[in-house]
Every structure is written in C-alpha cells, then in structure tokens.
Amino acid sequence: MHHKKLKPFPKNFLWGASTSAYQVEGASLTHGKGPSCQDVKELPPGTSGLDVCADHYHRYKEDVALMAEMGFKVYRFSISWSRLLPEGTGRINQEGIDFYNNLIDECLKHDIIPLVTMFHFDMPAALDARGSWSNPESVDWFVEFAKLMYESYGDRVKYWLTINEQNMLTLVGPLIGTLHIPEGCTNEIKEIYQQNHHMLVAQAKAMALCHEMVEGGKIGPAPNISLVYPASCKPEDVIASQNTNAIRNWLYLDMSVYGVYNNLVWAYLEENDATPTFAPGDEEALKNGNPDFIGFNYYNTMTVEHYAMDDQEEQTAGSDQQHQRGEKGFYKGFRNPNLPTTEFGWEIDPVGFRSTVREMYSRYRLPLIVTENGLGAYDTLTEDGKIHDAYRIEYLRKHLEQIQLAITDGVEMMGYCPWSAIDLVSTHEGIVKRYGFIYVDREEFDLKTLNRYRKDSFFWYKDVIASNGEKM
Ligand code: BG6
C-alpha cells in the first residue's frame, strides 16, 4: 500500500481508449478505399487479412454506444489516409470523408471528444510505390492530407495527434511494414534517418497548420516513450542507457517541442556518416511546429548495457516493436530480471510508467496524455457470454496507480487512453492477441457472429471513470 497522500485525478481528466484504422475498421479495400501498405504487406504467419478486423466500419454506432456506456470522455481513433485519398494525393473519396464525419458526429452525440491520430502505420500503397517517406515530396503529401482533414473535420475535432510511434517506425519500421529500405542502399542508417527527418518536418508543418486552420485546435505527437534503464550502476552502462534514451525517446520529443536534433543522436549520426539532408526551409519549419501537449504510448521500459566495439556477441533484430537490436559502441539490449512478462513476452513495469512520465514532464513541461497502454492476452468467452479478464484489470489498475502517484509528484496528466477500446488486429499476432474492453466474437479465421460482449474489464473501467479514478 502507498504511504503517501495521493492527489486525485484532475477534474477534467480525459478517460477513454484507443484504436487505429487499419486494425479495427475492416472494409479495407471497399467503399472507395485505396490499399495501404498494411493491406499489401505479407501477412504475419498464422494471421488473417484486414478485410474485416472488428468490422468497426459497419458497427461504429454500436461501438461508440458501448464506449459511452463505459463513460468515455474521449475516443482516440486514427484516420486512414488511403480511405480519404485512395492514391495518397489528389482524388478524394467522398465515402471515406463521410465515414469519419459520421464517426465524429456519433462521438459528439454521446459527449465523447474525438482524439484523432493522423497517421497510424498505414501509408497509402500508391505512395509507397513512389518511395514513401524516403521521397522528399512525402512532406507535401502529408501536409495535403492534413489540410484535407482540418478542412473536413476541424470544426468538430479539436484534439489531434500527428504520427503514431514515429520512433518505432524509425527503429523497427520494416517489421511494422511501414518503412522500407530501398534496394541497393549503401548506408542504411542514413537512409532511415533521412526518412525520419521527412516525418519530423511533415509533423512540424502539420502542427503549425493545425493552429492556423483549426479554431481552438490542439495537437501533439504520439511516440512510444519508455525510460531506458542501465543494466547496472556500471558507469558505462549508464552511458549506454543515456544513448538509448536519446535515440529511442528524446530525439522525437526534443524535435517536436524544441525543434532541434538531440545532440547525442546527432553525434551518433555524424559518426555513421548519416546526418540527414535539410531541404531549404526545414530548419524554420521544425522550429515553427509547436505541440500543445504530448501524447505517448507506454507498454514497458527497456534495459540496456554497454556494448563494446570488440564484443563477440552479435545482437540480432527483435521480433516486434518492443524489441530493438543493439548497436556496437552504443548500447546492447538486456533482459531486466526484475520484471515479469506477458504471455507474449513483453515485460510489465508499472513503476517504470511513473518514472517515464516524471522524466518526460521535467524535460518538456507540457500536459501529458497516455495514448496507449494495455495488456495483450488470449481471452475466453464463456458459455454465458462473459470474459473474465482479471489479468487485464490488474495490469491497468497497477498502471493507473502509478499515474496517480505521478500526478501526486506534480506531473500534469491530461488523460488516459489505453489500448484498446475494443478487440482489434494486433501488429503481428492477429486478432487473438486481444487488448479490448469490448470483446469481438470472432477467431483468427472464423468470423463467427462478430457480436460485441462486455468483458469484466469493461465494468471495472466504467466504475473507474464514474469515480474519476477513486475506485480502482
Ligand atoms: C503499438 C501500436 O506499438 O502497440 C499499436 O501503436 C499496436 O498499433 C500496439 O497494436 C500493441 O502491439 P501489438 O503488436 O501487440 O499489436
């Protein structure tokens, strides 16, 4: 138990949950939508396609009503770029515009604030074919898309998030299916960080444009932030953890908030002959984009140790977005022996949540909103239509307790949107790795009824929200 007098959650705390378009909607190649890179990528082994997902495209009314029943103040969802612009630029798909109009109106009808992610891992395939983020024109493509969204929805959507987990795209993009290394590339690091640079400039321009076009609009980034621990108190391990914090976390936030490259990252890029090329006007654009808050996803911390240049052990790439490979002379991944893991091998670290937000807030002093946090697990639907997911409740409760401690520490927390509002397709493990409060009756290949069921965590979260976090 805590021996601390806890501060309450703020009065207007934004309780809600998140989804992303390609993982939840379905209707991936119908209703005028163009394919995205997710629709054309090779499916992870043992998983089904994206044509149905949770069928949110057709059942959004029922889904939003269930969210309202839980008491959501906010719903974070993403807009599919290729649903609005099937070729990524130019021609507009009116049906796509209408779908999000309807979804937004449905949220507002229930007093739920829409929190819109502009880009969540789903580059239009047509733009992929034109080089995706490696093409310097990608900045303009994104600005065109942003402009269309502000024009279409800015009268009602006042909270925006730019790019979901840009840091994970940069660190493990090919694994997610969104970042490509062109064939014959001779300096991979340079290529990746040039693409990253384009995303940073695109984000900065989108933030500035939001303030110009959306009355009362607020916007922020949505990286995956988690503190990187040193494996020991060996001074070299501390240096390695600082390196990794810079390359994994601070690069993205230093850039969004201050408009400058983190110096440790810049030094690393110089060493690898990989500094990005600035187009004319980039420097200014990066300075002119200013977030109003910081959105961030948190699943677990990371631990690293010193990785000597002459170390014989080779660290290979990880298998998903929580597992990065090391870099000789810079850092080496380390399995933290103090932390349990989920059944999918992800470390669980609620206390690390608190240290992460403390650190972020002291660096940036902007309100923070959690845009993802949650537990992926196999759930079972019982004969009488129940889902007893006590493990998920425990995970979420432990993380919320740490948020409250962080609030008590003086951190300005704006909201909490765990992953995910409803079961949806995971990045690598199909739909059977479930995260939702709402259960979707389908299996990986058997679509069954697609009916919705309230999990035990649904009722638990409803009470949490109703008591503004007093009853956890
Ligand atoms: C985040 C992503 O990395 O983690 C989500 O923003 C993703 O899109 C979530 O689904 C959980 O990861 P996974 O691999 O379990 O689906």
What are the residue boundaries of the structural domains of the chain, listed by start? Answer: 14-466
Q: How far is the CA of 2 from the centre of ligand 1 (A)?
A: 31
What average pLDDT does range 286-310 have in this prediction?
Answer: 95
On whether the CB atoms of residues 440 and 63 are closer than 8 A, the answer is: no
> Do residues 356 and 370 make contact, with C-beta atoms less than 8 angstroms apart?
no
3-class SS of residue 220: strand
What's residue 309's pLDDT?
A: 85
Q: Please identify which of the residues 372, 394, 401, 470 carries the catalytic annotation.
A: 372
Can you give the pLDDT at residue 226? 95
* Rounded Cα–Cα distance for residues 363 and 352 (Å): 16
Structure tokens that stand for 136 in this block: 């310097």
Q: What's the whole-number mean pLDDT along residues 180-202?
A: 94
The verdict on the CB of residue 428 being under 6 Å from ligand 1 is yes
> Quick one: which atom of ligand 1 is closest to the CA of 424?
10
Pairing of strands 413-416, 438-440: unpaired
CA distance 382 to 115: 33
Residue 1 has a pLDDT of 52
Cα–Cα distances (Å) from 406 to 362, 375, 415, 419, 472, in that order, read 12, 21, 13, 20, 16
- Decide: 56 in ligand 1 pocket, CB within 6 A: no
Please state, in angstroms and as integers, the Cα–Cα distance from residue 152 to each residue in 147, 389, 454, following that order: 8, 39, 33
Residue 177's pLDDT is what? Answer: 75
Nearest Cα to Cα of residue 81 among 99, 65, 96, 60: 96
* Ligand 1 lined by 166 (C-beta under 6 Å): no
372 labelled catalytic: yes
Confidence of residue 319 (pLDDT cuts 50, 70, 90): low
Q: How far is CA 410 from the centre of its chain?
A: 25
Instruction: Give the whole-number percent of the chain exceeding pLDDT 70.
Output: 97
Question: What spacing in Å lies between the alpha carbon of 400 and ligand 1's midpoint?
Answer: 19
Mean pLDDT of the chain: 95
* Ligand 1 near 76 CB (within 6 A): no
- pLDDT band for position 181 (50/70/90)? confident
- ipTM confidence: 0.98
Q: Are 334 and 325 in contact (CB under 8 A)?
A: no
User: Which CATH number among 1.10.10.10, 3.20.20.80, 3.40.50.10540, 3.30.70.240 corresponds to the domain 14-466?
Assistant: 3.20.20.80
Report the run of H or E that residue 353 belongs to, with start and end.
helix 350-364
Q: Which residue has the tokens 């829409």?
A: 114
Q: How big is the chain, counted in residues?
A: 472
In angstroms, rounded to a whole number, what is the distance separating the alpha carbons of residues 242 and 179? 26
Cβ of 47 closer than 6 Å to ligand 1, yes or no, is no
Summarize pLDDT for 357-412 with one digit per residue, the tens: 999 999 999 999 999 999 999 999 999 999 999 999 999 999 999 999 999 999 99
Rounded to a whole number, what is the distance in angstroms from the first to the last CA of the chain? 13
pLDDT at 2 over 60: no
pLDDT in tens, 414-446: 999 999 999 999 998 999 999 999 999 999 999
Whole-prediction pTM: 0.96
117 Cβ closer than 6 Å to some ligand 1 atom? no
Measured by CA distance, the residue closest to atom 14 of ligand 1 is 427
Ligand 1 center from residue 252 Cα (angstroms): 19
The residue whose CB lies within 8 Å of the most ligand 1 atoms, and thus the one to mutate among 53, 370, 427, 433, is 427
Consecutive H or E run containing 302? strand 302-305
pLDDT of the residue at 245: 97
CA distances from 387 to 70, 361, 438, 443, 466 (A): 16, 37, 9, 15, 21
Residue-wise DSSP of 139-198: HHHHHHHHHHHHHHHTTT--EEEEEETHHHHHHHHHHHTS----TT-S-HHHHHHHHHHH
- Atom number in ligand 1 closest to CA 426: 16
Cis peptide preceding 132, ω within 30 of 0: no
223 Cβ closer than 6 Å to some ligand 1 atom: no
CB-based contact 26:50 (threshold 8 Å): yes
Give me the helices (H) in 17-154, please: 21-24, 37-40, 56-70, 81-84, 94-109, 125-128, 138-153
> Which residue puts its alpha carbon closest to atom 5 of ligand 1?
427
User: Mutate which of 419, 424, 433, 444 to test ligand 1's pocket (most atoms within 8 Å of Cβ)?
Assistant: 419
Task: Check if 165 has its Cβ closer than 6 Å to any atom of ligand 1.
Answer: yes
Residue 466 CA to residue 125 CA, distance in Å, equals 43
| Ligand 1 geometric centre to CA of 427 (Å) | 5
With a 6 Å cutoff on the Cβ, whether 164 touches ligand 1 is yes
Residue 468 carries which side chain, given as an amino acid letter?
Answer: N
Looking at the CA of residue 425, tell me the nearest atom of ligand 1.
Answer: 16
Distance CA 436, CA 378 (A): 11
Cα 308 to ligand 1 centroid, rounded to whole Å: 32
Residue 401 · residue 409 · CB < 8 Å: no
What share of the chain has pLDDT > 90, as a percent?
89
For residue 20 and ligand 1, the question of a CB distance below 6 A is answered with yes
pLDDT of 323 higher than 90? no
